């Protein structure tokens, strides 16, 4: 089924984020998303095959915009250190500003089946590749140790950022997620130098 794009498509994706964040992916029904979007249940099926398709489309759309915007930010950076900081800061700030999205990506996407996992893996790999390229660039610039493996470094960098966001989402006490950008950067950059 060819997906239709446009304003209503985006309204449905935004409604899906709110619905999944409020009641969880497994407890959310397509009818709940339609109600949240202010459309008839059947309208959802004009744009999506089922709830799994909504979640996959949602993640693909979010990651596409995330990587495009992050690439624009990285183009302004002078070296790999600045790029690493920008990746960390951008990731934390983006999710701090979108708590429903953070809840979906950190909690709901962890409880999915193999089909959904396959659907979300491609856009995630693009983000992973971006991190690996920054590490490789840091090696070329003499900023990072020559013996660092970019794939392993990417796992550590992404894993650290991901864990910080997960702790923030799970915390019962509100705190400033963006304020952790510098401490996370300092910790990770020390390991790369």
Cβ(142)–Cβ(61) below 8 Å:
no
Alpha carbons within 13 angstroms on the beta-carbon side of residue 27 total: 9
Query: One digit per residue, pLDDT tens: the chain, 193 residues?
Result: 445 677 889 999 999 999 999 999 999 999 999 999 999 999 999 999 999 999 989 988 888 899 999 999 999 999 999 999 999 999 999 999 999 989 888 887 776 677 777 777 888 899 999 999 999 999 999 999 999 999 999 999 999 999 999 999 999 788 999 999 999 999 999 998 8
Give alpha helix (H) positions in the chain. Answer: 7-23, 30-37, 41-47, 51-74, 80-97, 99-106, 114-140, 150-170, 181-192
Residue 18 CA to residue 37 CA, distance in Å, equals 10
Residue 85 CA to residue 70 CA, distance in Å, equals 12
Domains of the chain: 55-192 (1.10.357.10)
Cβ(111)–Cβ(25) below 8 Å:
yes
Prediction pTM value: 0.88
């Amino acid at each position: 089924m060819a997906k239709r794009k446009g304003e209503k498509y985006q309204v449905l994706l935004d409604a899906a984020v709110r619905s999944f964040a409020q009641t969880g992916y497994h407890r959310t029904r397509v009818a709940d998303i339609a109600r949240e979007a202010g459309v008839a249940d059947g309208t959802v099926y004009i744009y999506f095959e089922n709830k799994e398709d909504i979640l996959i489309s949602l993640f693909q759309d979010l990651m596409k915009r995330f990587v495009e915007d992050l690439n624009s930010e990285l183009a302004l950076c002078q070296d790999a250190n600045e790029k690493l900081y920008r990746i960390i800061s951008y990731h934390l700030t983006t999710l701090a500003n979108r708590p429903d999205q953070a809840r979906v990506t950190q909690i709901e996407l962890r409880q999915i089946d193999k089909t959904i996992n396959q659907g979300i893996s491609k856009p995630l790999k693009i983000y992973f590749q971006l991190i690996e390229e920054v590490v490789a660039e840091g090696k070329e610039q003499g900023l990072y140790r020559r013996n660092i493996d970019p794939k392993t470094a990417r796992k550590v960098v992404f894993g650290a950022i991901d864990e910080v966001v997960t702790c923030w989402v799970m915390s019962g006490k509100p705190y400033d997620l963006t304020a952790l950008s510098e401490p996370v950067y300092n910790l990770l950059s020390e390991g790369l130098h």
